[in-house]
């Protein structure tokens, strides 16, 4: 609950609104037991514990990359399911990559998170707790959030929006919307709904191919909304929010990495102000697809920039702990 909602709830119990503020403050600092909320009277702590639960995450595993200090956490959810979160350390601050669902039902051909399908949505409190507990367990101040872990954020729309309001709240984590990126495989209705909220976050669209033929092979969602519909939704999003879209493009050998693909992409994006993030596919053994060669990636990037499209090539972080994009899965796979 947001502090305002908590205040309304507490009012019904005859409690003054500053109590809600106090409880929200404790929860935001990761306190998961009412008994530890020491500025509340003892009787009240007992009464709250009888009435409410604090479904906190508990840490199952923490892996630290020897290469770059990236940390991957596996959390246990209150019902025994689990998800992963990754902390990346950059010069400009710490960024946390969070999961929004237990598993995923989008079925992208290159991604490990969707193996085994979707088990359930995460609650807003669980998504928030990924951020809070990562900060505590890694002793890191979190300045940026990317919704690029396990799950499709726009397939868990209400919980994700509630999470954004919680993490953005000045009495909580107070992370500005401009420090948050939400990545989607391209749910057109979800993009339109999000546009109406006019949040100042960065929308990343996982494009991965400029044309229907290639994209439908990689991403089943493209059979529901083709690339034309997706580009149109992105344009509406930009018109409504004034925020430029960032397109993710994972380079898959001999699938989407040809000069022809680069030209098609450039033709679409030239002049739109959109930004392309190229990333070499991370190899996922179950998936069989191979990363493009580094040379191909460089050529592709050059073609885009020569055509006037801004492009960056992503660095890989945490690959020694399987923390890189598309590799998050162990946390949600039940042991056979």
* Per CB under 6 A, 130 contacts ligand SAH: no
Residue 163 binds ligand SAH, judged by CB under 6 A = no
Nearer to ligand SAH, 1 or 150 (CB): 150
Residue 279 touches ligand SAH, criterion: CB under 6 A: yes
Residue nearest to ligand SAH (CB): 326
Stretch that binds ligand SAH, among 45-53, 228-236, 275-283, 297-305 (CB under 6 A): 275-283
The region of 188-196, 225-233, 235-243, 276-284 touching ligand SAH under the rule CB under 6 A is 276-284
Beta-ladder partners of 252: 291
| 325 classed as catalytic | yes
Smallest gap from Cβ 155 to ligand SAH, in A, equals 8
Q: Binding residue for ligand SAH (CB under 6 A) from 325, 329, 331, 332?
A: 325
* Count of residues engaged in binding ligand SAH, rule: CB under 6 A: 17
The three state secondary structure string of 90-116 is ECCEEEEECCCEEECCCCCCCCCCCCC
- By CB under 6 A, the residues from 225 to 264 that bind ligand SAH are 248, 250
Q: How far is the CB of 63 from ligand SAH (least distance, A)?
A: 18
Nearer to ligand SAH, 238 or 283 (CB): 283
CA torsion sign, 6 to 12 to 15 to 18? positive
Stretch that binds ligand SAH, among 20-28, 29-37, 108-116, 165-173 (CB under 6 A): 108-116
Q: Is 98 in the site for ligand SAH (CB under 6 A)?
A: no
**Tokens standing for residue 289:** 């697809």
Q: C-alpha dihedral over 38, 39, 40, 45, to 10 degrees?
A: -10
The token duo for 321 is 């702990």
Helices (H) and strands (E) counted in the chain, each on its own, are: 10, 12
Based on the shown chain and the rule CB under 6 A, indicate whether residue 122 belongs to the binding site for ligand SAH. Answer: no
Identify the three-state secondary structure at position 125. Answer: helix
For 211, what's the count of Cα atoms within 13 Å in the CB-facing half-sphere? 13
Nearer to ligand SAH, 37 or 121 (CB): 121
Distance CA 75, CA 32 (A): 15
The reply to whether 111 sits near ligand SAH by the rule CB under 6 A is yes
Footprint of ligand SAH on 48-87 (CB under 6 A): none
Q: Which member of 5, 53, 84, 97 is catalytic?
A: 84
160: left (phi over 0), alpha (psi -120 to 50) or beta: alpha
Is the CB of residue 121 less than 8 Å from the CB of residue 70?
no
Q: Pick out residues in 14-43 that bind ligand SAH (CB under 6 A).
A: none
> Binding of ligand SAH at residue 206 (CB under 6 A)?
yes
- The span of 29-37, 230-238, 265-273, 277-285 binding ligand SAH (CB under 6 A) equals 277-285
As a whole number of angstroms, the distance between CA 222 and CA 212 comes to 7
Asked if 144 is part of the footprint of ligand SAH (rule: CB under 6 A), the reply reads no
Query: For strand 58-64 and strand 71-76, is the pairing parallel, antiparallel, or unpaired?
Result: antiparallel
Residue 99 CB partners (closer than 8 Å, separation 6+): 83, 84, 85, 122, 127, 130, 149, 150, 151, 328, 331
Residues 6+ apart with CB under 8 A from 67: 317, 318, 319, 320
99 vs 106: CA distance, rounded Å:
14
Among 65, 144, 168, 282, the residue binding ligand SAH under the rule CB under 6 A is 282
Question: Which stretches of the chain bind ligand SAH, using CB under 6 A?
Answer: 108, 110-111, 148, 152, 183-185, 206, 248, 250, 279, 281-282, 284, 325-326
**Catalytic residue positions?**
84, 325
């Amino acid at each position: 609950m947001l502090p305002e909602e908590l205040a309304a709830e507490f009012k019904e119990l005859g409690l003054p609104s500053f109590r809600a503020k106090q409880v929200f403050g404790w929860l935001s600092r990761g306190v998961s037991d009412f008994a530890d909320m020491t500025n509340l009277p003892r009787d009240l702590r007992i009464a709250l514990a009888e009435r409410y639960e604090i479904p906190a995450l508990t840490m199952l595993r923490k892996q630290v990359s020897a290469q770059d200090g990236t940390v991957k956490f596996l959390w246990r959810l209150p019902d025994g399911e689990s998800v992963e979160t990754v902390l990346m350390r950059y010069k400009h601050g710490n960024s946390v990559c969070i999961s929004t669902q237990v598993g995923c039902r989008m079925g992208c051909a290159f991604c490990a998170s969707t193996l085994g399908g979707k088990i359930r949505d995460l609650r807003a409190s669980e998504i928030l707790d990924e951020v809070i507990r990562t900060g505590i367990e890694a002793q890191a101040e979190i300045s940026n959030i990317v919704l690029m872990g396990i799950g499709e954020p726009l397939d868990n729309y209400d919980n994700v929006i509630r999470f954004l309001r919680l993490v953005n709240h000045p009495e909580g984590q107070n992370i500005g919307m401009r420090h948050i990126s939400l990545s989607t495989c391209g749910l057109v209705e979800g993009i339109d709904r999000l546009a109406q909220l006019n949040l100042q976050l960065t929308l990343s669209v996982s494009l991965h191919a400029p044309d229907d033929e290639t994209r439908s092979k990689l991403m089943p969602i493209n059979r529901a909304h083709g690339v034309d519909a997706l580009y149109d939704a992105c344009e509406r999003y930009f018109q409504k929010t004034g925020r430029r879209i960032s397109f993710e493009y994972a380079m898959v050998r001999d699938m989407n990495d040809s000069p022809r693909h680069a030209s098609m992409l450039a033709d679409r994006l030239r002049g739109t102000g959109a930004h392309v993030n190229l990333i070499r596919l991370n190899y996922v053994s179950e998936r069989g697809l191979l990363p493009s060669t580094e040379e191909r990636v460089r050529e592709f990037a050059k073609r885009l920039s020569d055509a006037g499209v801004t492009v960056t090539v992503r660095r890989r972080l945490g690959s020694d702990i399987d923390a890189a994009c598309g590799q998050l899965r162990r946390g949600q796979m039940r042991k056979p």
